[in-house]
Structure 1
Amino acid sequence: MPVFLYVLALAVFAQGTSEFMLSGLVPGIARDLSVSVGAAASLTSAYAIGMIVGAPVMAALSARWPRRRALAGFLTAFVVVHVIGAVTTDFAVLFGTRVVAAIVNAGFLAVAMSVATALVPGERRGRATAVLLSGVTLSCVAGVPAGALLGDWSGWRSAFWAVAALCLPALALVFRRAPADAAGREEVSVRREARALRSRPVRWAMVLAAVVNGATFATFAYLAVIATDIAHLPAAAVPALLAAFGVGAFAGVTTAGRTADGGLGRGLLLALCVLPVGWALLAVTSPYPAPLFVVTIVQGGLSFGIGSTLVARVMHVAPQAPSLGGSFATVALNAGAFLGPLTAGAATGATGDYRDAAWVSAALAATAVAAVAASRAGVARAGVGEAG
């Protein structure tokens, strides 16, 4: 694989760390900026808003931009908003920086994907894409716990400074090594691809992805406070719990990548059925550290494995939307990441019990299971009717 591909993966790792690290920084942000835990947790939703807005727009706009200028511009903006976030004392400003960071993150990913596939022969493009996106799952394993640990040692602002610093080597190499020409792709027909995305199978896959990811982030945004307030673990243990979730997520994505074919296979359906049970089990066992760690690993694997399989499903049923299919799958995932923490925040705010975030996850996952069951039953009835 070309060395520059790993430069792009480093930037994606930093961006993934930024997206997910808020879970471990919520208590510190809430104390320092004098806001509620629910408000601080909504910063996860702020990032999701930016990705929802940015992914399809940037995928279309950046298709013909000079790649070096686009990559450098997006990454520079990403560094700047993290510096602003690190120094602000205004929660509204911090919220705004998360939205902008997500928009430029979406833009960077759109261009980086085109660069990654252009750097290698056609038969190696799948592997190149996997290398690029490995930065996201590795951020769950290493970047997010490291950010939480750094936040515990030096305050949450230091984690923002660290993300900005982590981007600088990648930014320098982008200026030196990124292709200077335009993306070289045919003009994206937004209208034509948007029509392809309106089909029922595509919409159904995106709804499922949104609901499953909503379940994931409803609890993920509250893992730190569940660990400290419910399990009564020391703050120093939070990075280890986040790392446990990340290890599970990495294993789930790896397994799904080897077995998923874009269909609603038996393995996916079984994992979907287990998912709400696991979230309910996390709610019940959260006061007990050892079971909490075990269930967190399992749920990380199930959630990210199912999520990545549903993304593959979107791409499988939308072959006429090669440019926008992936970006709209990202929109679906981030719609869930936006609504999940908000729903959990409403529930925990009403009851004062952070375990209710896991019950919200269980309810959302159960909704996904019920939706799949209803859909399959409808298909079966249609088949019987046609046969009759």
Structure 2
Amino acid sequence: MPLALTLLAVAVFAMSTSEFMLAGLLPDIATDLDVSVGAAGLLTSAYAVGMVLGAPLMAGIARRWPARGGLLGFVLVFSAVHVVGALTASFSVLLITRVVAALANAGFLAVALATAATLVAPNQKGRALAVLLAGTTVAIVAGVPGGAVLGTLVDWRATFWAIVMLCLPAALGVVWGIPARPGAEGHDHPTVSLRGELRQLLNPRLVLVMVVAALVNGATFATFTFLAPIVTDTAGLAELWVPAVLVLFGVGSFLGVRIAGRLSDQRPGELIAIGGPLVLVGWIALAVLAAHPIVLLVLVFTQGVLSFALGSTLIARVIYTAAGAPTMGGAYATAALNLGAVGGPVVAGASLHAGLGAPGPVWASGLLLAIALAVALPLLGVIAPRTEASRRVDRSAA
């Protein structure tokens, strides 16, 4: 894999850390800025909405920019609004910075996904995606707990300054790692019109893959968002176990992305057909057995592996299916991922008011995954058609 992909993953790590770390900082932000915790929660909602809407919007704006210029611009804007966020005493200003940061994050990820696909061979898009998503999983493993610790030891503003510092090597990585004019790998100026790329959304196959990807990732984030009460209320563990469980899930997700990176290009159908039912069984088992701490820890790890292997495979299928949208395909993949990240917690939150208690979000994950499989498995040949590479593997094995 090209070094440029690893450098892009550094920026994804910084942005994902900022996206996820805020949940643990909301009480301190509410106290400092004299708002309620509920109002402070709007910071998370604003970021999520900005990610969903920002992916196609920012990708459309940046589609004719050179990749390096667009990526660098998004990183610098992301860094600048975190400086403003760290300095402001106004909740309204902080809320605006979160929206702008989300737009920059969405734009960067959309362009990065499209650029990554041009830096590798046509049959290695899944591996390229895995490298980028590794930045997200490392953020879960190290960035989010690290931000929580820094916020506890210093204050929430220190975490914003830490994000600014992380953006510096990310910006340098874009400058050094992405060709100024990537004509050999991709297109400075797309040959397909924006209307033509948007027309790809009328392709039933692309819509199908995006919906399934959103459902699977929604199932993942439904439980991930509410892991803390499951650990403390259902399993009866001390609050100190919460970051440890989050790290365990993050380690599993990192391994899952790596596994998908090796298999999703040649064996996407098998990975979906086998991994999907395993993930569903895992959610059901976690919902039933979460009161047993050892079982909880094991299942959190395995669900991290399986969920991210399945989810990243489907996001890769979006990239493959959107081949007719060379600059907007990354935006479609980003939108599918973040629709799940937004919708999953909403469904999980509703389950908490349905009398299901702390395990309710896990049942919600199982429901979303079951719907995804009910749609995907009968249409597996459409979602993940056999590739020539997989046929060659079969012939060589025979």
How big is each residue's C-alpha offset from its partner over 1:104-163, in whole Å with a ceiling of 9 and x where there is no partner? 012223444566677x68689856665444322322332223223333444444333322
330-339 vs 138-147, greater mean Cα deviation: 138-147
Alpha-carbon distance between aligned partners in 2 of 1:210 and 1:164, rounded to the nearest angstrom: 30
Q: Which residue of 2 aligns with 1:35?
A: 37
Q: Which residue of 2 aligns with 1:245?
A: 249
Q: Offset of 1:42 from its aligned partner?
A: 6.4
SS of 1:319's equivalent in the other structure is coil
Q: Does the C-alpha gap of structure 1 residues 171 and 115 become closer, same or farther in structure 2, counting only changes over 3 Å?
A: same
Question: 1:194 pairs with 191, 198, 201, which one?
Answer: 198
1:208 and 2:212 aligned: yes
Q: Which residue of 2 aligns with 1:347?
A: 351
Task: Letter of the 1:165 partner, please give it.
Answer: M
Q: Offset of 1:308 from its aligned partner?
A: 1.1
SS of 2:241's equivalent in the other structure is helix
Q: Does the C-alpha gap of structure 1 residues 72 and 106 become closer, same or farther in structure 2, counting only changes over 3 Å?
A: same
Q: Offset of 1:317 from its aligned partner?
A: 3.0
SS of 1:354's equivalent in the other structure is coil
Q: Does the C-alpha gap of structure 1 residues 40 and 363 become closer, same or farther in structure 2, counting only changes over 3 Å?
A: farther
Q: Which residue of 2 aligns with 1:258?
A: 262
Q: Does the C-alpha gap of structure 1 residues 285 and 26 become closer, same or farther in structure 2, counting only changes over 3 Å?
A: farther
Q: Does the C-alpha gap of structure 1 residues 245 and 92 become closer, same or farther in structure 2, counting only changes over 3 Å?
A: farther
TM-score, length of structure 2 as denominator length: 0.79
Alpha-carbon distance between aligned partners in 1 of 2:72 and 2:376, rounded to the nearest angstrom: 42
Task: Letter of the 1:77 partner, please give it.
Answer: V
Q: Which residue of 1 aligns with 2:280?
A: 276
Native 8 Å contact 2:120 2:128 kept in 1: no
For structure 1, which runs of at least 5 residues remain unmatched after alignment?
380-388
Identity rate, percent:
50
Q: Offset of 1:50 from its aligned partner?
A: 1.7
Q: Which residue of 2 aligns with 1:12?
A: 12
Q: Which residue of 2 aligns with 1:220?
A: 224
Q: Which residue of 1 aligns with 2:57?
A: 57
Mapping 1:83-162, distance limit 5 Å: 83-86=83-86, 93-112=93-112, 131-162=131-162
Mapping 1:361-376, distance limit 5 Å: 361-373=365-377, 375=379
Task: Letter of the 1:102 partner, please give it.
Answer: A
Q: Which residue of 1 aligns with 2:306?
A: 302
Native 8 Å contact 2:82 2:163 kept in 1: yes
Q: Offset of 1:321 from its aligned partner?
A: 2.2
Alpha-carbon distance between aligned partners in 2 of 1:108 and 1:332, rounded to the nearest angstrom: 15
Q: Offset of 1:52 from its aligned partner?
A: 1.7
Q: Does the C-alpha gap of structure 1 residues 271 and 83 become closer, same or farther in structure 2, counting only changes over 3 Å?
A: same
Alpha-carbon distance between aligned partners in 2 of 1:72 and 1:30, rounded to the nearest angstrom: 32
Alpha-carbon distance between aligned partners in 2 of 1:123 and 1:315, rounded to the nearest angstrom: 11
Alpha-carbon distance between aligned partners in 2 of 1:258 and 1:173, rounded to the nearest angstrom: 25
Q: Which residue of 1 aligns with 2:291?
A: 287
Alpha-carbon distance between aligned partners in 2 of 1:170 and 1:375, rounded to the nearest angstrom: 40
Alpha-carbon distance between aligned partners in 2 of 1:6 and 1:372, rounded to the nearest angstrom: 32
Task: Letter of the 2:315 partner, please give it.
Answer: V
313-322 vs 200-209, greater mean Cα deviation: 313-322
Q: Does the C-alpha gap of structure 1 residues 167 and 234 become closer, same or farther in structure 2, counting only changes over 3 Å?
A: farther
Native 8 Å contact 1:12 1:136 kept in 2: yes
Q: Offset of 1:298 from its aligned partner?
A: 1.2
Alpha-carbon distance between aligned partners in 2 of 1:194 and 1:70, rounded to the nearest angstrom: 20
TM-score, length of structure 1 as denominator length: 0.81
How big is each residue's C-alpha offset from its partner over 1:209-257, in whole Å with a ceiling of 9 and x where there is no partner? 1111111111111123333444343443322211111111111111112
Q: Offset of 1:14 from its aligned partner?
A: 0.6
Q: Does the C-alpha gap of structure 1 residues 4 and 212 become closer, same or farther in structure 2, counting only changes over 3 Å?
A: closer
Alpha-carbon distance between aligned partners in 2 of 1:84 and 1:222, rounded to the nearest angstrom: 30
Native 8 Å contact 2:17 2:136 kept in 1: yes
Q: Which residue of 2 aligns with 1:385?
A: none
For structure 2, which runs of at least 5 residues remain unmatched after alignment?
384-398
SS of 1:197's equivalent in the other structure is helix
Alpha-carbon distance between aligned partners in 2 of 1:43 and 1:56, rounded to the nearest angstrom: 21
Alpha-carbon distance between aligned partners in 2 of 1:372 and 1:2, rounded to the nearest angstrom: 32
Q: Does the C-alpha gap of structure 1 residues 378 and 144 become closer, same or farther in structure 2, counting only changes over 3 Å?
A: closer
Mapping 1:321-332, distance limit 5 Å: 321-332=325-336
Question: 2:342 pairs with 335, 338, 341, which one?
Answer: 338
182-191 vs 15-24, greater mean Cα deviation: 182-191
How big is each residue's C-alpha offset from its partner over 1:76-109, in whole Å with a ceiling of 9 and x where there is no partner? 2212332344455666654443332121012223
Native 8 Å contact 2:21 2:143 kept in 1: yes
Q: Offset of 1:17 from its aligned partner?
A: 1.6
Native 8 Å contact 2:130 2:312 kept in 1: no
Native 8 Å contact 1:218 1:340 kept in 2: yes
Alpha-carbon RMSD? 3.6
121-130 vs 347-356, greater mean Cα deviation: 121-130
Q: Which residue of 2 aligns with 1:170?
A: 170
SS of 1:64's equivalent in the other structure is coil
1:313 and 2:317 aligned: yes
